[in-house]
Homo-oligomer: A and B are copies of this chain.
Amino acid sequence: MTEDSDWVERFPGLSRLDLPTKQLLTKRSTIVRVPKNTMVFGPGKSPENMLFLLDGTVRVQQVSETGHQIVLYRIEAGQSCVLTTACLLAYDDYSAEGIAESVVKAAAVPREVFDDLVAGSKPFRDFVFAAFSKRLTDLFLMIDEVAFQRVDVRLADKLIKLSSGADSVSTTHQKLSVELGTAREVISRQLQEFQRRGWIEQARGSVTLKDRQQLQTLANHNA
């Protein structure tokens, strides 16, 4: 692990900044550590600062008025909470919350500093707008998936993504149902079918991928 003081260099989108801007960011930010399963932001918890994630991931999910839950997206290391933060600050009738999925290390930048940077640095503007754009297009894709994609296809895709190349995924049927915005029973049935086909093995609280190729083929069934 490198020094935290040069965190700006580790952001692909921020490396283009000119030196004074980098120094401003470094000087005016503080490194914070957030324990696992902490709510980073959420109803009644508007953060004072914009976070730039150095380590760990933040899961952004929504609790519907009907009590249902769905995972909207994740903020990974190298990305910032800016848009989510800004968004939630502006409209307090939101229902989304951000939860640290692991220990999270982040650089906290005060809002005034953020505003100054947007005003003063074109590369920083580009970074912010690129992040916004990516988030919007991702949400477009997500709407498309939720509305039109079959559950088995989405589940296969999610299993592969969550595995990150590992052999097994530590999760429950309940958690998987929240990932896809469906019901636990649906996940149970689909996983049974996958198991029947020999694509996975199940244990309490974990799914082992036995045939990643077949899962991938199903996940690619876009048409």
Residues of A in contact with B (beta carbons under 8 Å apart): 62, 64-68, 70, 72, 83-84, 86-91, 94-96, 115, 118-120, 122, 125, 129-130, 132-137, 139-140, 142-144, 146-149, 181-182, 222-223
Contacts and interface: CB of A to CB of B under 8 A. Distances in A.
Given A86-B133, A115-B122, A140 B94 contact: yes
Contacts of A120: 119
Contacts of A122: 115, 119
Contacts of A83: 132-133, 136
- Interface-central residue, A129, A136, A137, by most chain B CB under 10 Å: A136
Q: How many copies does the complex hold?
A: 2
Contacts of A147: 64, 68, 70, 146, 181-182
B134 A90 contact: yes
